[in-house]
Amino acid sequence: MRARLALAASGQVCVLREIALARKPAEMLAASPKGTVPVLVLADGTVIEQSLDIMRWALHRHDPHAWLPEGEGTLAEALQWIATCDGPFKVNLDRYKYPSRYALENGAADRDQGAAFLAQLESKLAIQPFLTGTHFGFTDAAIAPFVRQFAHTDTGWFAAQPWPALQDWLQAFEASPLFAAVMHKQPEWVAGNPDGLFAPQIRSLPLQTL
């Protein structure tokens, strides 16, 4: 999702092939043998295989809403938050969400470990409206989809936690036109079918203030 968020914010128009991972087409594997999504193939044949790299590519091309952090220190802090999200927190998320895949009776232990990261986000959001600062930006877009997955694993548990700033931040994200635009469902692509088009028309991005 976060790659699409950045592509939408940047105004990039892309051919979109919605892939079912259970039926990976040969065309996808030829472009990216690792067989995971997202994959972005540029006009010159360059392949970008990581969602964070796609985000940075799109926003370096065009960043009309000032999503990218300014200054080396600010960027380093953003990348540190994202690294924690993509590393330990994502491990906890997967084990919490799919305990049977890891031969676990339940995901409670990983839920509680992941909650430590969410508590850090709560502390950050208690003093500023967004992780990026005064407006929704790069750090928010990189982390919000994973917080959303964690929250929706057990919505009652998440709602009961003492994280009002984090809960408001997530609710605002899910209610935004940007979220609706990138969540629009496309039919599964198979060879021979027409390509889809990813070109969300978002006149003004939401989430400037809470």
Instruction: Dump the DSSP string for 153-210.
Output: HSHHHHHTSS-HHHHHHHHHHHTSHHHHHHT---PBP-TTSPPEEE----SS---S--
Nearest-angstrom CA–CA distance, 23 and 16 = 16
Claim to verify: residue 83 and residue 143 sit in the same structural domain:
yes
So what's the pLDDT on residue 201? 63
57 close to 44: Cβ distance less than 8 angstroms? no
* Amino acid of residue 91: V
C-alpha to C-alpha distance for 30 and 41, rounded to whole angstroms: 11
From first to last of the 210 residues of the chain, give the pLDDT tens digit.
999 999 999 999 999 999 999 999 999 999 999 999 999 999 999 999 999 999 999 999 999 999 999 877 799 999 999 999 999 999 999 999 999 999 999 999 999 999 999 999 999 999 999 999 999 999 999 999 999 999 999 999 999 999 999 999 999 999 999 999 899 888 899 888 888 888 876 554 545 543
Whether residue 25 is found in the same domain as residue 78: no
Residue 30 CA to its chain's centroid (Å): 25
Residue 207 lies in a domain: no
Give me the CATH number covering residue 11: 3.40.30.10
**Residue 134 domain-assigned (yes or no):** yes
169 and 103 assigned to the same domain: yes
Tell me, yes or no, whether 206 lies in a domain.
no
What pLDDT is recorded for position 202?
A: 56
Residue 70 pLDDT: 84
Place of tokens 């079918």: 193
163 in Cβ contact with 119 (< 8 Å) = yes
Looking up residue 170, the CATH number of its domain turns out to be 1.20.1050.10
Query: What are phi and psi for residue 69, nearest 5 degrees?
Result: -65, 145
Q: Is residue 38 part of a domain?
A: yes
Asked if 86 and 170 sit in the same domain, the reply is yes
The per-residue pLDDT for 170 is: 98
Structural domain including 53 reads 2-65+184-198
State residue 196's pLDDT score.
Answer: 85
Residue 8 lies in a domain: yes
Asked if residue 163 and residue 108 are part of one domain, the reply reads yes
**Domains held by the chain: number:** 2
- Beta-bridged to residue 188, according to DSSP, are 18
Q: What local confidence, expressed as pLDDT, does residue 45 receive? A: 94
What number of other Cβ atoms are within 10 A of residue 190's Cβ?
A: 13
**Same domain flag for 81 and 164:** yes
Q: pLDDT digit string (tens) for 145-191?
A: 999 999 999 999 999 999 999 999 999 999 999 999 899 888 899 88
- Residues 101-114 pLDDT 10s: 999 999 999 999 99
Q: Is the same domain home to 83 and 129?
A: yes
Neighbours of 86 (CB within 10 A): 17
Report the candidate in 180, 148, 147, 140 with the shortest Cα–Cα distance to residue 55: 140
208 occurs within a structural domain? no
Whether 204 is covered by a domain: the verdict is no
